[in-house]
């Protein structure tokens, strides 16, 4: 069992100790379940009351937050990040499969595998694929023809990457991710929906992580493109020819329709829906369950969605735009009514209409 002093942990994360730096820490836990010998953290002010009641021997807290907690503290700029670094000391490293191709895997003859690549049982790697050093292809995964995958990627079991898709370095795909499925494109011809061929591909740049059962459709002609550092949650749908800028965060059950583009550092909260052919500006934030049908400027925060009959929605939107003018008229009418009831004009003289 690993044991570290609070002082050592503080030096690891660049924190300041308030209390006894010699306290021994042998584990990590959340605020509610922590016991003596554990360290926990307060990353959200809504849990402050729990922090005052915790049995933890030490807390990682915000450098600029409250300081009167009943235990030793490590004060840092980002408690969540610092606690993650500390927790890594106590948790075992993730199990890494042995390098090599499992006997139950199928790898086409012309596939290029980098040094220390691991291909798990029942995985299929088709012709023309190139895989960089130390990448892991999990059990039951499928890599389609002519795909290119960079170094140090981790494809968990049952990932599907269809033909001609490109992954950069250090890309993580969790179980059930599908990259390069057909975009949703049909034309109504003679009363029937006829499929439009989806001939493009998907490009995923370095350091992208995509959560379980998320799907990324291939472009109709060009590519669907997820740029460097994006973090995408479970159960997200990304349509064909979507472009997602660098370091975006996209939370569970979000849907992005085809040909929409996101600038860098955009945040889409849970269950956001974006219509097609939009542009979401850099560092914009769309709050949970919002439906967006128009472009969003950089840095804006948008929220809200109300499903109604379309004609009613259009009438309401027209009224919403007139609300400032209507409110001003109401204020003027109220003032006029007050004057009439008091019998005085705005100058304080008797109102002509009342005096007559």
95 in any annotated domain: no
Same domain, 126 and 214: yes
* pTM across the whole model: 0.80
* Count of CA atoms in the C-beta half-sphere (13 A) of 184: 12
Choose among 265, 183, 302: nearest CA to 294. Answer: 302
Same domain, 289 and 192: yes
Same domain, 156 and 248: yes
Which of these three, 58, 90, 122, is where a domain ends? Answer: 90
Which of these three, 283, 302, 321, is where a domain ends? Answer: 302
Domain CATH code at residue 205? 2.160.10.10
Between the alpha carbon of residue 108 and those of residues 46, 111, 356, the distances in Å are 54, 6, 102
Q: Region of 135 please: left (phi>0), alpha (psi -120 to 50) or beta.
A: beta
Same domain, 264 and 122: yes
Same domain, 128 and 16: no
265 in any annotated domain: yes
307 in any annotated domain: no
Phi, psi of 38 (to 5 degrees): -95, 160
Any idea which residue has 């849990």 for tokens? 47
Same domain, 225 and 114: yes
Number of domains making up the chain: 3
235 in any annotated domain: yes
Same domain, 47 and 185: no
How many other CB atoms are there within 10 angstroms of residue 302's CB atom?
17
Same domain, 214 and 158: yes
Same domain, 141 and 121: yes
Same domain, 76 and 152: no
Same domain, 224 and 278: yes
Range of the domain at 41: 4-90
Q: What are the catalytic residues?
A: 240
Q: What is d(CA 140, CA 125) in angstroms, rounded to the nearest whole number?
A: 10
Which of these three, 90, 118, 138, is where a domain ends? Answer: 90
Continuous H helices in the chain: 6-13, 48-53, 79-90, 310-342, 352-355
* Residue 253 exposed, middle or buried by CB count within 10 Å (0-12, 13-18, 19+): middle
Same domain, 169 and 237: yes
Domain CATH code at residue 21? 3.40.1390.10
**pLDDT tens sequence for the chain (356 residues):** 689 999 999 999 999 999 999 999 999 999 999 999 999 999 999 999 999 999 999 999 999 888 888 899 999 999 999 999 999 999 877 778 999 999 999 999 999 999 999 999 999 999 999 999 999 999 999 999 999 999 999 999 999 999 999 999 999 999 999 999 999 999 999 999 999 999 999 999 999 999 999 999 999 999 999 999 999 999 999 999 999 999 999 999 999 999 999 999 999 999 999 999 999 999 999 999 999 999 999 999 998 876 677 788 788 888 888 999 999 999 999 999 988 888 765 555 555 555 54
Choose among 68, 65, 70, 90: nearest CA to 15. Answer: 65
């Amino acid at each position: 069992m690993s044991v570290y002093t609070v002082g050592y942990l503080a030096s690891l994360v660049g924190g300041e100790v308030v209390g006894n730096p010699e306290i021994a820490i042998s584990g990590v836990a959340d605020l509610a379940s922590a016991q003596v010998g554990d360290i926990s953290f307060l990353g959200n002010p809504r849990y402050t009351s729990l922090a005052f009641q915790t049995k933890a021997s030490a807390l990682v807290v915000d450098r600029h937050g409250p300081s009167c907690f009943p235990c030793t503290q490590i004060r840092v700029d980002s408690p969540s990040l610092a606690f993650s670094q500390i927790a890594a000391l106590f948790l075992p490293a993730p199990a890494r499969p042995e390098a090599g191709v499992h006997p139950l895997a199928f790898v086409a003859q012309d596939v290029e595998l980098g040094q220390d690549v691991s291909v798990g049982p029942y995985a299929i790697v088709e012709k023309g694929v190139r895989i960089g050093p130390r990448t892991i292809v999990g059990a039951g995964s499928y890599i389609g023809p002519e795909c290119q995958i960079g170094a140090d990627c981790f494809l968990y079991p049952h990932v599907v990457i269809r033909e001609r898709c490109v992954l950069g370095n250090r890309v993580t795909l969790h179980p059930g991710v599908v990259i390069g499925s057909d975009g949703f494109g049909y034309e109504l011809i003679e009363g029937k929906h006829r499929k439009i061929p989806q001939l493009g591909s998907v490009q995923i740049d370095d350091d992208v992580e995509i959560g379980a059962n998320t799907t990324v459709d291939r472009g109709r002609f060009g590519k669907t493109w997820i740029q460097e550092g994006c973090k995408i949650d479970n159960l997200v749908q990304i349509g064909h020819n979507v472009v997602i800028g660098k370091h975006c965060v996209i939370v569970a059950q979000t849907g992005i329709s085809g040909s929409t583009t996101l600038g860098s550092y955009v945040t889409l909260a849970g269950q956001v829906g974006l219509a097609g052919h939009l542009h979401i500006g850099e560092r914009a934030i769309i709050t949970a369950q919002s439906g967006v049908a128009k472009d969003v400027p950089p840095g804006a925060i948008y929220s809200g969605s109300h499903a109604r009959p379309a004609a009613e929605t259009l009438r309401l939107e027209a009224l919403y735009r007139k609300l400032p003018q209507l409110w001003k008229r109401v204020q003027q009418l109220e003032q006029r009514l007050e004057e009439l009831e008091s019998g005085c004009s705005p100058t304080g003289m008797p109102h002509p209409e009342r005096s007559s």
